[in-house]
Chain A
Amino acid sequence: MTLTLQPVRVATGAEEEGMLVFDRDQRLLAVLVHLSPENPVAPGHWFLEAGFDRLDGLNHPTFADLDAAKRWILGHGGPTKEG
């Protein structure tokens, strides 16, 4: 995968532990936020807080883990895969 992750704190007013997702050209594609284990909607999941370019829009899914988030980002108009 060509995506790189960088931890970040996000001022959501709730959970703050997040991850910036960059493509291989170091362009910011998405901001993910780690929901707390007590979150009633999707406990412990990663939430697409913001997406850019083709990830921008009404769709804000949650993912069981970071690998699932990366797969979704690559499958939804993220950068072309290496090789």
Chain B
Amino acid sequence: MLPAPFPANHSPIIRKLESIFPLTDDERQALLELPIQVTAIKEDQDVVREGDRPSRSFAILSGMTCTSKVMGDGKRQIVAFGVPGDMPDIQSLHLKVLDISVTTLTPCSLGFITHEALWDLCLRSPRIAAAFWRETLVEGAAFREWILNVGRREAYPRMAHILCELLVRLHAVGLAEDHSCDLPITQVEFADALGITAVHVNRVFQQMRADGLIETRGTRLIVPDWERLKEVGDFDETYLHLLTTGGAAA
């Protein structure tokens, strides 16, 4: 069941946290009272860059981002995709210098929260601090899964796996239904995430369509046979530790 509606700015943050951590009414209220500065940002803009020392963190309220690391010659590896509710640079609350860059993939609405306000909330509510801690641990679990995916799976199951992950994560925040979602990620961006060329991404998508594994309409992804896509992608969502799939919280 979907959570009750919240004010638009806070809703994605609460929805995301509640997908991995059970919040009480008081905790939900404390999150609702967080001062958020909402900013609209165009696509393909860096929100933060490696080396930055942010004094605030942000939550994605709408749109998608990617988290990446860049080599000396400018080539980048995307290490995560950010969906609404995610806080891609929450680690800057504790790690002062950012070791990642976060870039918008689509026009985004971002909610900035000062570290001061986050610290204050965490000190007042150790359980909310634990929820953020759990969020970063789940993020770490996802990074480990990506290392396995990029390092060991062939291109076809690698793509299937990432599509499964995105569908499950978007579903957890109410943005996917019936194994279908809006997925405005370009083939070049998939290539940077999967460690293969855009030419190969294109071939894999063509093959997946020919095999009836996926359908695409514009940026819309439709998965006609979810069980089959999971099987092809060797996908087990345990690593996402969602409460709905038995990922028990403390």
Interface of A with B (CB < 8 Å)?
12-14, 35, 39-42, 47, 58, 60, 62
> Which listed residue (B187, B197, B203) contacts A60, Cβ 8 A?
B197
Question: Bound complex: CA of A14 vs CA of B197, how far in Å?
Answer: 14
Does B24 sit at the interface, judged by CB under 8 A? no
Q: Are B202 and A41 in contact (CB under 8 A)?
A: yes
Q: Are B206 and A40 in contact (CB under 8 A)?
A: no
Q: How many pairs of residues, A versus B, come closer than 8 Å at their CB atoms?
A: 28
Q: Which A residues lie within 8 Å of B201 (CB)? A: 41
Could you list some 28 contacts between A and B, CB below 8 A? A12-B203, A13-B203, A13-B206, A13-B207, A14-B202, A14-B203, A14-B206, A35-B199, A39-B199, A39-B202, A40-B187, A40-B202, A41-B187, A41-B188, A41-B197, A41-B198, A41-B199, A41-B201, A41-B202, A42-B198, A42-B199, A47-B197, A47-B199, A58-B195, A60-B197, A60-B199, A60-B200, A62-B199
Q: Residue on B with the closest CB to A12?
A: B203
Q: Which B residues lie within 8 Å of A42 (CB)? A: 198-199
Question: Bound complex: CA of A12 vs CA of B188, how far in Å?
Answer: 19
Interface of B with A (CB < 8 Å)?
187-188, 195, 197-203, 206-207
The smallest C-beta distance from B207 to any residue of chain A, in angstroms, reads: 6
Q: Residue on A with the closest CB to B206?
A: A14
Q: Which B residues lie within 8 Å of A14 (CB)? A: 202-203, 206
Q: Which B residues lie within 8 Å of A62 (CB)? A: 199
Question: Bound complex: CA of A12 vs CA of B155, how far in Å?
Answer: 13
The smallest C-beta distance from B140 to any residue of chain A, in angstroms, reads: 25
The smallest C-beta distance from A4 to any residue of chain B, in angstroms, reads: 24
The smallest C-beta distance from A2 to any residue of chain B, in angstroms, reads: 27
Q: Which A residues lie within 8 Å of B195 (CB)? A: 58
Q: Which A residues lie within 8 Å of B188 (CB)? A: 41
Question: Bound complex: CA of A39 vs CA of B207, how far in Å?
Answer: 14
Q: Which B residues lie within 8 Å of A39 (CB)? A: 199, 202
Question: Bound complex: CA of A13 vs CA of B202, how far in Å?
Answer: 11
Question: Bound complex: CA of A35 vs CA of B207, how far in Å?
Answer: 16
Q: Which A residues lie within 8 Å of B207 (CB)? A: 13
The smallest C-beta distance from B62 to any residue of chain A, in angstroms, reads: 26
Q: Residue on A with the closest CB to B210?
A: A13
Question: Bound complex: CA of A41 vs CA of B200, how far in Å?
Answer: 10
**Of listed B188, B202, B207, residue having the most chain A CB within 10 A:** B202
